Structure 1
Amino acid sequence: MSAEHSGELSRHETELRAWMSKWYDHAFAIGFIRPPFILDDATASRLEGYFNVGLTPAEGVNAIFGVVH
């Protein structure tokens, strides 16, 4: 039985969740978000993309909240 059908998370999902938790902690620590923070689908997709290309959680915070020049 695959992880998908057993209710278990895949390795990718487990690592993504850990990465997003670190992302949240960093964004909170530097004042970009406050609880309760609701993550919308579009932002979640962007964050997964940043995770997939290897950005650190801190780099992901800068990509989401940073000033675009």
Structure 2
Amino acid sequence: MDSKSGLQLQEDVCELRGWISVWYDQAVAARFINPPFVLDDTTADRLQGYFDVGLTPGDAVHAFFGVMH
């Protein structure tokens, strides 16, 4: 892996972490989860899938918890 792709990976991870942080705050605000919430690998993979397809954190909260609009 060259340094540019390594840098891009770091930026992608940073963006995903920020997105998950917003998702977490919105899920707590909606009272779907309570702190502390431990993010397991399965949940992290699912959230990354929502992130990868372009869902907003709010839309991902609804998709994750099955809330109908």
**TM-score, length basis structure 2:** 0.82
Counterpart for residue 46 of structure 1: 46
State the Cα distance separating 1:26 from its structure 2 match.
Answer: 0.2
State the Cα distance separating 1:19 from its structure 2 match.
Answer: 0.2
State the Cα distance separating 1:63 from its structure 2 match.
Answer: 1.1
Q: How far does the alpha carbon of each residue in 1:6-26 deviate from its partner, in whole angstroms, 9 at most, with x for none?
A: xxx711001000000000000
Moved over 3 A (4+): 1-4
**TM-score, length basis structure 1:** 0.82
Percentage of identical aligned residues = 58
1:15 partner letter = E
Any stretches of 5+ residues in structure 2 without a counterpart? none
1:1-69 equivalent positions in 2, closer than 5 A? 2=3, 10-67=10-67
Any stretches of 5+ residues in structure 1 without a counterpart? none
Classify the secondary structure of the residue corresponding to 2:13. helix
State the Cα distance separating 1:67 from its structure 2 match.
Answer: 4.7
CA RMSD of aligned residues (A): 2.1
Distance 1:66 1:54 in 2: 18
Q: How many residues align?
A: 65
